[in-house]
Amino acid sequence: MTDIAYAKKWADTRLNDLAAHRALYAAAEEFAIEGRKVNDHLGDTVSTDAEFEQEIGMWGDGRQRITVTEAFAGNGHLMIHWDYTVDADTYRGLPTGGKTLSSKGSTFLQFDDAGKIVLESSFVNENPLFQQLGVPIITPHYWEEGFDPASLL
């Protein structure tokens, strides 16, 4: 299976077949999924079957879509870039007004010698989603020459 084919299988099973998705991962307590990037890893690390079903199962609600755009493999790892869309009445408690929200996401996977996922770190860029809902989020281009941090004050 090619890297992009595996990435698409990962995305498809995450949304459509939780049991097949779980089969991609190492045994319970031998894998970790980091998804929320909080400082204490007790609240955001998935490493048991019960946590997997609860946290990853929410992706299969029919309101979210992941479309893989790129996959880069090397040294037992796979980096996946994907487009993310969500169709829901609310997003993070905010009414969507019937809008389809879209952004980008990425997932880093590390594999054991048997080809099972032992580490996943996924990130959805939520700023564009909130901006599409009218939340005033400043996204300065601080990397551009001449950017003045004082302009944010």
pLDDT of the residue at 43: 61
Q: Which neighbouring-strand residues pair with 77? A: 74, 110
CATH code at position 94 = 3.10.450.50
Number of domains in the chain: 1
Q: What is the CA radius of gyration of the chain?
A: 17
Residues 85-133 pLDDT 10s: 999 999 989 999 999 999 999 999 999 999 999 999 999 999 999 999 9
Residue range(s) defining the domain that contains residue 38:
3-152
Residues 47, 49, 55, 56, CA torsion sign: positive
Q: Could you tell me the two tokens for 84?
A: 């993310």
- What mean pLDDT comes out for the span 66-81? 96
Q: How far is CA 47 from CA 8, 35, 50, 115, in A?
A: 23, 12, 9, 17
Sequence letter at residue 145 = E
Residues 11-61 pLDDT 10s: 999 999 999 999 999 998 898 888 765 555 556 688 889 988 988 888 888
pLDDT of the residue at 54: 87
The answer to whether 3 touches 42, Cβ cutoff 8 Å, is no
C-beta neighbour count of 103 within 10 angstroms: 18
Q: How far is CA 41 from CA 24, 32, 44, 118, in A?
A: 22, 10, 5, 16
pLDDT category, 134, cuts 50, 70, 90? very high
Mean pLDDT in the chain? 90
- What mean pLDDT comes out for the span 56-69? 90
144: alpha, beta or left, given left = phi > 0 and alpha = psi -120 to 50?
A: beta
Percentage of the chain modeled with pLDDT above 70: 93
Of 30 and 69, the one with more pLDDT: 69
